[in-house]
Structure 1
Amino acid sequence: MSSSDIFIGEIIGTAVLILLGAGVVAAVVLKRSKAQGAGWVAIALGWGFAVMTAVYIAGPMSGAHINPAVTLGIAITSGEWGNVPIYFAGQLIGAMLGAFLAWLTYYGQFKAHLMDPELVPPPLEEGLVDERSAPNAGPVLGVFSTGPEIRVYWQNLVTEIIATVVLVLAVLTMGLNDSGKGLGTLGGLIVAFVVVSIGFSLGGPTGYAINPARDLGPRIVHALVPMPNKGGSDWGYAWVPVVGPLIGAAIAAGIYNIAFA
């Protein structure tokens, strides 16, 4: 596969992943959505189906890594590093594109949610600068990126590492195509079920980013799109879902090289 195929395939695949993944979260948490309140099971299944759809779309072009952690794990085990920057760039751009499309799709719901009287802070006295955020705007950021239920950075980091070890080890042992450079047809289905399992079992503490591009790209979009009362983008936490999955991928690749290669 050529560099241009990899770049375009990863943009398209990651955009589809985030559009469908962020979309199911928006459907569940935003006011005036028909799926509001559907719960964690719907979110976990939605993300799993998002992975499956993205893999089958992008697989023929790029091998459908759609995740820098997967790219890193494959590079460590295969020793082929030449296209890693191209994969990373396509994944980040695709994640931002997918998040923007999800925002457009649910624009009315974002507006209804953030302009709800329960969320909008009361007006300040004339002449004062309003630097407050809507106190209950957290679900809006949660559409775009992950956040911990209990903010203990070392535990949050360890959770992301453990969850990503499971994902990348599953990709390396069960999901790769015959060339070993991407996800095969059956591998895409297997990995989708693995993502659902991770969501059910390991997603509770942090929301299971397990993908640096999935978290960073949409977080950037959250910071850029105009939404009143949206609150901050929680940049103080943003390093955890980037660093944790990359460490987890390296550990998974090490386990694979020792135990399976």
Structure 2
Amino acid sequence: MEFTLFQKLAAEFLGTMILLILGNGSVANTNLKECKGHESGWINIALGYGLGVMVPVLMFGSVSGAQINPAMSIGQAISGIFPWSEVLPYIIAQLLGALVGQLIVYLMYLPHYNLETDPDLIFGSFSTFDATGSKVNYFFTELIATAVMAFSSVACLKLPWGQKYPATAAIVLGLIITAMVTSMGGPTGAALNPARDLMPRLLHQILPIPHKGSSRWGDAWIPVVAPIIGATLGIGLLKICFL
């Protein structure tokens, strides 16, 4: 079945929205005071992001490719496996989906945001930052982690076994993301996705959250630029070796 560009963009919008709801929702549930999942730990967050990727890929992989990430769209276009003409529309849909998804998380957890007094815990449910305050480590971690993620994701979805068994590929991809967050997410929180970090950061800036602290705009370029470079490198390596 051939899908229209509008249907593809709707899939990217909804897929990215779901990613934010499940991923950043798991962070809010873990971080914020009086939540049922308060202090449930990093595994809860890793599962949230793993499922946050797996569910949209299961739902929309056959529609738009479920890229749900501007870095993936740009990286695939640079490698010649995605048309440049669709990159900007995809990115706009992804950014808007991330914005709406994070807004839903905020509204669901509004009473808990009003109770929480730690600005780092509040900010962590929106965007990422380096735990030690190192911009160099922030950039390096996001670049390498995104390269691994992009290589693995496209391998699952584009190699013959994944094309033959797309549902299995989506499940494997969800497990890969879960494993990556547990193993590579410690330094920064693992953005891996410009839309997932930038649009929540914007909302963090403008929403009236008590005790929210700084939106850390001095670091905001890192989880945008580093994932784009990382995705380009990861997908490029896969293209050279296997596609």
Would you say same fold, with TM above 0.5? yes
CA positional deviation for 1:250: 1.1
Match of 2:68 in 1: 66
**1:108 aligns to 2:111 (yes or no):** yes
Separation in structure 1 between the aligned mates of residue 159 and residue 55 of structure 2, nearest angstrom: 17
CA positional deviation for 1:228: 2.2
* Match for residue 195 of structure 1 among 177, 199, 217: 177
* Match for residue 164 of structure 1 among 141, 146, 153: 146
Match of 2:5 in 1: 3
Match of 2:232 in 1: 250
* Match for residue 136 of structure 2 among 147, 154, 162: 154
Alignment of 1:102-251 (within 5 A): 102-113=105-116, 119=117, 136-176=118-158, 184-251=166-233
Q: Tell me, what secondary structure is at the counterpart of 2:156? A: helix
Separation in structure 2 between the aligned mates of residue 9 and residue 260 of structure 1, nearest angstrom: 27
Query: Using a 3 Å threshold, how does the CA distance of structure 1 residues 145 and 44 change in structure 2: closer, same or farther?
Result: same
Q: 1:26-76 CA deviation, whole Å, 9 max, x = no partner?
A: 100100101101011111111101111222233343221111122123222
Contact 2:129 2:189 in 1 (8 A): yes
CA positional deviation for 1:229: 2.3
CA positional deviation for 1:177: 7.8
CA positional deviation for 1:141: 0.7
Q: Tell me, what secondary structure is at the counterpart of 1:64? A: coil
Q: Which runs of at least 4 in structure 1 moved beyond 6 Å after TM superposition? A: none
**Structure (1 or 2) with the larger CA radius of gyration:** 1
* Match for residue 34 of structure 2 among 32, 35, 40: 32
Higher helix proportion (structure 1 or 2): 2
- Percent of paired sites with the same residue: 37
Contact 2:113 2:210 in 1 (8 A): no
Match of 2:102 in 1: 99
Gaps of 5+ in 2: none
Q: 1:161-182 CA deviation, whole Å, 9 max, x = no partner?
A: 110111110122122387x99x
Gaps of 5+ in 1: 114-118, 120-135
CA positional deviation for 1:18: 0.1
Normalised by the length of structure 2, the TM-score is 0.92
Contact 1:25 1:43 in 2 (8 A): yes
Contact 2:192 2:227 in 1 (8 A): yes
Normalised by the length of structure 1, the TM-score is 0.86
Q: Tell me, what secondary structure is at the counterpart of 1:32? A: coil
Aligned length: 238
Q: 1:201-254 CA deviation, whole Å, 9 max, x = no partner?
A: 111111111111110111111112221221121111111111110000111122
Q: 1:131-161 CA deviation, whole Å, 9 max, x = no partner?
A: xxxxx31110100111111122122111111
CA-based RMSD: 1.9
